[in-house]
A and B are shown apart, each in its own frame.
Chain A
Amino acid sequence: MKIYNHLILTLGVALMLFSCGQQNQSSNGALSSSAAEKVYVAPGEQDEYYAFLSGGYSGNLTVYGLPSGRMFKEIPVFSQFPTSGYGYSEETVPMLNTSHGFVPWDDAHHPDISQTNGELDGRWIFINGNNTPRIARVDLSTFETAEIIEVPNSAGNHSSSFITENTEYVVAGTRFSVPVPQRDMPINEYKGNFKGALTFISVDPEHGHMAIKFQLLMPGFNYDLSHPGRGKSHGWFFFTTYNTEEANSLLEVNASQNDKDFIAAINWKKIEEYVNNGGGTKMPANYAHNVYDEHSHTGTSTMRNEVLTIDPTKVPGAVYFLPTPKSPHGCDVDPTGQYIIGNGKLSADLTVHSFDKMIAAIEGQKFDGEAYGIPILKFEDVLAGQVKSGGLGPLHTEFDGKGNAYTTFFISSEVVKWKLGTWEVIDRKPTYYSVGHLMIPGGNSRKPFGKYVVAMNKITKDRYLPTGPEMEHSAQLYDISGDKMELLYDFPTHGEPHYAAGCPAELLTSNSKKIYRLDENRHPYAVTTADGSKVVRDGNEVHVYMSTIRSHFTPDNIEGIKIGDKVYFHITNHEQDFDVPHGFAILGQNSSELLVMPGQTKTSVWEPKEVGVWPFYCTDFCSALHQEMQGYVRVSPANSNTELKWSLGE
């Protein structure tokens, strides 16, 4: 009888679920369009939004269209990219220079689009390299990396690269605390000795050039994620912390002991004022600042040797700790700037702090002790509310601008929609599988475009055709224009995206360059006229000033190269027509090809090791005569007298 009851109950539940499903379907009705129609962008038509997905361990940034989920471009940022020669060409090798030498890879995490008055302005997109701490700026007119700055005293540059609402600063926080300055010391003396550097990098409003304004040396916790205040809370920055236990081993246990960690609230305006009045301590440091000039098509790396550090206890009223349960991960601020959301990744609940209550508690001096001299506010005094979601493992939250928030739950693998202020859960939809970040275009600004949310999953098992043990990750697109979220589409993503940034297409389309102007090319080895090509020997260095146009190289026959020479091929593409790049590769080249855009100059070095006649060719199918676009270099013995000469069509 008991078994019967059980069966009936189960059947009953199943029926209810089934009928719910039916109801949902019928409530959508025949009038609403299908998911397929919603994501279909017909040939020749364009997507409504750009989405920039971090490439994770690929080190790069990928550009997608929404709602189609089509990938348009991979922008090389922290990793060598043989497709274009980035990180291989003489001009771009300096972009990957660091205080540790040439680092051809990084783990790219959190893209953020520049803002003016808290709204996306579409000028630049910033992204952080996590492993060898760096921040990159990508120009959104060329969609190329324009600048990379290394962050000293940081380790695991994870609570980065988030920008303030007028792009005053791009902020880079350290995940791992380390000795500052670095020194030889026992690891188990971590507690009380390591520091966590939070770095505020100023952004030149006109050119976007970055410079470290100051580094706040915080207690040795792990600074996990951050977001700026906006609107009323503009001037503040919020960082989640974990490992406030300051464990140095087996963190999965030892850093999960405290019931509450902190959200660190930083009044950066106050610190900025302190710095502008001569505050702070200059500390020797060693970090690279790499800038790419669009007109010389050349990157330059400059080593910097000093950084301004700030002791947070020296600036009264600048830093407070907000107790937040269970090792919070994402730290998100709603579009009004009132709510600061701590996504307690080891709990079921979300903690929401109130900016107004925080200010009131600070003004009332209601502290609950301090940590390393930094006042801790009382949890109850700053708490706005808690979202009892029933999900497990909240990670990140975005906003739709209509009073709703969307939070990913990694463990229960779902996106939960809830209401700001009432904290009630409105809807929940499963993801496939184990969602990490999510992104609503503009979802972390004052003005979100709440039509779609992209969920970026960490695991994609079973959803696509199998491709062996390793596969791409998966994103899912939901329509959030209605009360209930609707799953529209799955699409694979490159690397492991950690966060993304999106914006309306029209913000960027009209600024996107089609060519580089040859008459603005200021590369020192550029050939800007049809008859300007030449070959110049300087000791054992040979510089080939070579031009390309459909479909030949000038020159295409070169003699007089000798074993032991270092041959620089400086290739200038004379095309001024959209989408007519030329490539260059020569047999035995110890680097990659070059892909040279119209009007651009790039350089590849070749050190021939064998006597002979060696071919080079265009690697980019440029015209009906692309296969004819080739040439030869004669390499003679080191002691030969072969005359240096070059020609075309002789």
Chain B
Amino acid sequence: MKKAGILMILGPLFLLGLYVFPLWNIMLGAPQYPDPLGLNIHINGLRGVSEFDIQNIDGLNHYIGMHTLPKAEEMWEFGTFPMVIGIMVGIGVLIGVLGYLGKVNYKWFLGWFLLMSILGILGMYDFNEWLVDYGTNLDPNAIMKLTNPDGSPMTYKPPLLGHVKMLNFDVTSLPSTGAWLMFMGMMLTLVAAFMGWKSTKNQN
């Protein structure tokens, strides 16, 4: 149980990477952009991969009536997410320490993992909602109003995961370093739960 406790302390600490590294990354490449434009999504705001990428993405998107990318203060998520992650790291480490001391059992580990998973899924859901809004809530006075072959207005929601061709741009959306660190950390807590369960079983 001590080893499991150590893993349970380490796992949540991996989430601290989210304060440094981006959670998600969206790249926009086109023939006229040999160096693609890129958007890094951090838990506390959006940043360009290169210094002026956000300005240049906004500059392009205004043709098709998309709103400018939100500043950190314009979305509650960028204030809330860092707090949620902080609280979850705190709780996780506390559970790990208590587990190490034998005060709580593996079920708490599993509980933290499940709670974090639910929060993660909610986060993804929220993120997707924003992508939908960003890509479909278009300025009615847009310079270019494009339609699909069936006559419906064309929308520009970037993919949550993977690649789509959007007008002249290849848009690729993938988890970034922060997400991978979070994934590894959560896996560690799952391993901790498994080890805790095994040691409990062995004691029995």
Contacts and interface: CB of A to CB of B under 8 A. Distances in A.
A624 B63 contact: yes
Nearest to A549: B59
B56 A577 contact: yes
A550 interface: yes
Interface in A575-616: 575-578
Given A576-B52, A577-B52, A578-B35, A550 B143 contact: no
A168 B51 CA distance: 37
Interface string B168-200: 000000000000000000000000000000000
Nearest to A628: B143
B137 interface: no
A1 interface: no
A620 to B, nearest CB: 14
A577 B143 contact: no
Interface centre among B35, B56, B59, B143 (most CB of A within 10 A): B59
A253 interface: no
Contacts of A624: 63, 143-144
A365 B56 CA distance: 71
A550 B35 contact: no
A46 to B, nearest CB: 11
B55 interface: yes
A625 B55 CA distance: 18
* Chain B contact residues, majority secondary structure: mixed
Contacts of B63: 623-625
Contact of A576 (B35, B56, B143, B144): B56
B148 to A, nearest CB: 20
Interface in B42-99: 51-52, 55-56, 59, 63
- Contact residues on A (Cβ < 8 Å of other chain), bracket: 10 to 19
Interface centre among A549, A578, A623, A624 (most CB of B within 10 A): A578
Interface string A615-650: 000000001110000000000000000000000000
A578 B56 CA distance: 10
Contacts of A549: 59
B139 to A, nearest CB: 14
A100 B179 CA distance: 67
Contacts of B143: 624-625
Nearest to B53: A577
Contacts of B35: 578
Contacts of A625: 63, 143
Contacts of B56: 576-577
Contacts of A550: 59
Nearest to B62: A550
B59 A577 contact: yes
A575 B52 CA distance: 9
Contacts of A576: 51-52, 55-56
Nearest to A576: B52
Nearest to A44: B34
Nearest to B52: A576
Contacts of A623: 63
A550 B51 CA distance: 19
A578 B143 CA distance: 23
Interface string A515-534: 10000000000000000000
A506 to B, nearest CB: 17
Contacts of B59: 549-550, 575, 577
Nearest to A550: B59
A624 B62 CA distance: 12
Interface string B15-50: 000000000000000000001000000000000000
Contacts of B52: 515, 576-577
Nearest to B57: A577
A578 B59 CA distance: 13
Contacts of B55: 576-577
Nearest to A577: B56
Contacts of A578: 35
Interface centre among B52, B56, B144 (most CB of A within 10 A): B52
A623 B61 CA distance: 12
A576 B50 CA distance: 11
A625 B143 CA distance: 9
A625 B51 CA distance: 25
B8 to A, nearest CB: 46
A633 B153 CA distance: 38
B171 to A, nearest CB: 18
A45 to B, nearest CB: 12
Contacts of A515: 52
A627 B184 CA distance: 52
A131 B52 CA distance: 44
Nearest to A514: B35
B66 to A, nearest CB: 15
A549 B55 CA distance: 11
8 contacts: A575-B59, A576-B51, A576-B52, A577-B55, A578-B35, A624-B63, A624-B143, A624-B144
Given A550-B59, A624-B143, 7 more contacts: A549-B59, A575-B59, A576-B52, A576-B55, A576-B56, A577-B56, A624-B63
Interface of B: 35, 51-52, 55-56, 59, 63, 143-144
Would you list the 10 A-B pairs with minimal beta carbon distance, nearest first? A576-B52, A577-B56, A576-B55, A550-B59, A625-B143, A577-B52, A624-B63, A577-B59, A576-B56, A549-B59
